[in-house]
Structure 1
């Protein structure tokens, strides 16, 4: 079976109608498996992971392999209510492919379909990964030993669609493409009391205000201005009524950095500032961190140089891009396996993660053509 452009667009629209949240991608998994099963099976072998049941790996046997090249496509969606007037709008209330994973899956299936008919020289492994948006699906798969035996991967690739790039443009850079992210949860333990007697209480809201203000100085006064780090506290909960001093407060936020060293530095400074605030306010402050698999997406220099050089010389539309502060759990896999992540332009009027995200479907063919061209070059060139 050879997928046509019309077939691929219909597949993407079918995915778009059945978005599912992290670790619940049951329909999506079944549909991927149905499509892959319709391909010629001569070179293919499928693997499922019982402990991660919505994941799927497909091995493509090479004719004369010297390596195994991996390609990852994430399959989950976001808790966003769609605001697009489409015949194929999301059927799952409050859930949408607002990050374009329907495009990611469709491009991967197009590439896989090509190699199910044209046997590659090297082995290929396609990883349809659940739980990218949350729950660290890439890390879960790695820690479960998914990439062992014939599924061991020597170099890994993956794309992310980009609403701001023209349709079909390939964007990439050597070094960090996406930031790493770490969730920060803070619980401040003061002492509640009457609003008229503040000296008998320990106001958790005042402590929280000082905590947020002082933590922001880490960025403005502890980090080289030419390097990137971000701390954002997006949620603060405290108090129950205007005339009662709150005894507890909860602050939630994220740390972002272009390197893991930057993230670790910020975490250490938060610990130090917190200790000082505990002494100053005679309070207890608990800080919890959760990075999971959301490491910086750091592209391997050698592999990415080769990828960029090919794209510049090929018929693909290529653009050098700056790093972005968005997070991606492919960073964990690239921390373990050398590889490259790149952008695919989709020129959407709405941004990633927005209710009106609407990628141009022509990008599907453009992405498939660009990456199959690169793989053929990679597998058949004289470079090791």
Structure 2
């Protein structure tokens, strides 16, 4: 296979879009990616499959005079969303859709890899096609399995996320945090059920849960620096069985978002304090559980990100937009906590938001994204880009 054309890339993207798969089940996706990559010129490539993470795929590109190893990561999983775009290449897997645009991510990565398979880079490159970004912490799992060791460990790591609010093909980035870190919160309140007519003989966990939720609202408003920001959202509350029985148990489920790990840890500490206070006040047992997994804040490395932004601003073929941090989560944050790097946006100009059933990225973003990333990686290796 020679260098992929724009039409080739669009065909690949549409195939991927038609066949989405959920986290850790990306079997068909893995095989399709492998088949495409095996058609590339193999002179400089080494393909690596991971028996302990079977839907993942790694590819190294041997540099001619390597001074460093540059990593590039793309995520490959989809979401449990029923597609409503009406596209002729809509998802063929009921209830599953690339509603976060990972089909675009993969296609751009293939385009970049294909270019360097035809034009040997000076530095070594490592491409990581990562499963399970949307759930199950694929990046963290891979790192803990030791896949980034020896020649497979990047000295610096890059990755993108599509952005429906930016012009198609534009590159967006910022110094500092790009994505918030996220932590799941589960709260179980245990009291004593009883007859609605005899509240003195029961311990009502509906009231205790209401008090807990009410007090938590003051954490962000009164315990968090408003310049730094944070989010606590409770999206689910279960309690009781029938109207005339006092609920002896309640469960609250929610999420924390913070732009730094320090902020997330601060909010966690305050939630624990509120839980202890409600337990004492209501003579109840309050169990609170936190699960962050690999969803740390995506904190871009200062030196590498400044270089990336400086390039994007001066490159005549790249449209650059400086963006604000987002409170959405991304597990690339875990990898950036271990390996310095930069995450950036690729504009796809869609009227629908990420994770929606009608997300429809503009395919013109694909070729532009490939071109900008290839040019940056060439620039990073000391080539003169005109």
Q: TM-score normalised to the size of structure 1?
A: 0.99
Is residue 371 from structure 1 mapped to residue 370 from structure 2 by the alignment?
A: no
- The equivalent residue for 1:339 is 341
- Separation in structure 2 between the aligned mates of residue 68 and residue 196 of structure 1, nearest angstrom: 71
- Separation in structure 2 between the aligned mates of residue 204 and residue 25 of structure 1, nearest angstrom: 42
- Separation in structure 2 between the aligned mates of residue 286 and residue 43 of structure 1, nearest angstrom: 54
Is residue 113 from structure 1 mapped to residue 114 from structure 2 by the alignment?
A: yes
- The equivalent residue for 1:58 is 59
Give 3-state SS (helix, strand or coil) of 2:107's partner. helix
With 224-233 and 105-114 compared, the bigger mean Cα shift is at 224-233
1:309-353 Cα deviation digits (max 9, x unpaired)? 000000200010110100000000000000000000000121100
- Separation in structure 1 between the aligned mates of residue 73 and residue 38 of structure 2, nearest angstrom: 18
Is residue 187 from structure 1 mapped to residue 188 from structure 2 by the alignment?
A: yes
Give 3-state SS (helix, strand or coil) of 1:164's partner. coil
- Separation in structure 2 between the aligned mates of residue 134 and residue 299 of structure 1, nearest angstrom: 22
Shift of 1:224: 1.1
Structure 1, unaligned stretches of length 5 or more? none
**Aligned counterparts, 1:84-233, within 5 A:** 84-233=85-234
- The equivalent residue for 1:260 is 261
- The equivalent residue for 1:288 is 289
- The equivalent residue for 1:309 is 310
Question: Of the candidates 362, 365, 368, which is equivalent to residue 364 of structure 2?
Answer: 362
Give 3-state SS (helix, strand or coil) of 1:126's partner. strand
- Separation in structure 1 between the aligned mates of residue 237 and residue 31 of structure 2, nearest angstrom: 40
Shift of 1:381: 5.3
Is residue 235 from structure 1 mapped to residue 210 from structure 2 by the alignment?
A: no
Give 3-state SS (helix, strand or coil) of 1:256's partner. strand
- The equivalent residue for 2:355 is 353
The alignment of Structure 1 onto Structure 2 pairs a total of residues equal to 382
- Separation in structure 2 between the aligned mates of residue 251 and residue 210 of structure 1, nearest angstrom: 12
Is residue 324 from structure 1 mapped to residue 331 from structure 2 by the alignment?
A: no
Moved over 2 A (4+): none
Shift of 1:46: 1.1
1:133-166 Cα deviation digits (max 9, x unpaired)? 0000000000000101210110000000001111
- The equivalent residue for 2:10 is 9
- Separation in structure 1 between the aligned mates of residue 22 and residue 221 of structure 2, nearest angstrom: 36
- Separation in structure 1 between the aligned mates of residue 288 and residue 383 of structure 2, nearest angstrom: 51
- Separation in structure 1 between the aligned mates of residue 25 and residue 372 of structure 2, nearest angstrom: 31
Give 3-state SS (helix, strand or coil) of 1:262's partner. helix
Give 3-state SS (helix, strand or coil) of 1:289's partner. strand
Shift of 1:216: 1.4
Shift of 1:225: 1.3
Q: TM-score normalised to the size of structure 2?
A: 0.98
- Separation in structure 1 between the aligned mates of residue 42 and residue 151 of structure 2, nearest angstrom: 16
Give 3-state SS (helix, strand or coil) of 1:78's partner. coil
Give 3-state SS (helix, strand or coil) of 1:207's partner. helix
Shift of 1:226: 1.2
- Separation in structure 2 between the aligned mates of residue 163 and residue 16 of structure 1, nearest angstrom: 16
Shift of 1:380: 1.6
- Separation in structure 2 between the aligned mates of residue 225 and residue 304 of structure 1, nearest angstrom: 25
1:116-142 Cα deviation digits (max 9, x unpaired)? 010000000000000000000000000
- Separation in structure 2 between the aligned mates of residue 196 and residue 366 of structure 1, nearest angstrom: 68
- Separation in structure 2 between the aligned mates of residue 134 and residue 372 of structure 1, nearest angstrom: 29
- Separation in structure 2 between the aligned mates of residue 217 and residue 52 of structure 1, nearest angstrom: 42
Structure 2, unaligned stretches of length 5 or more? none
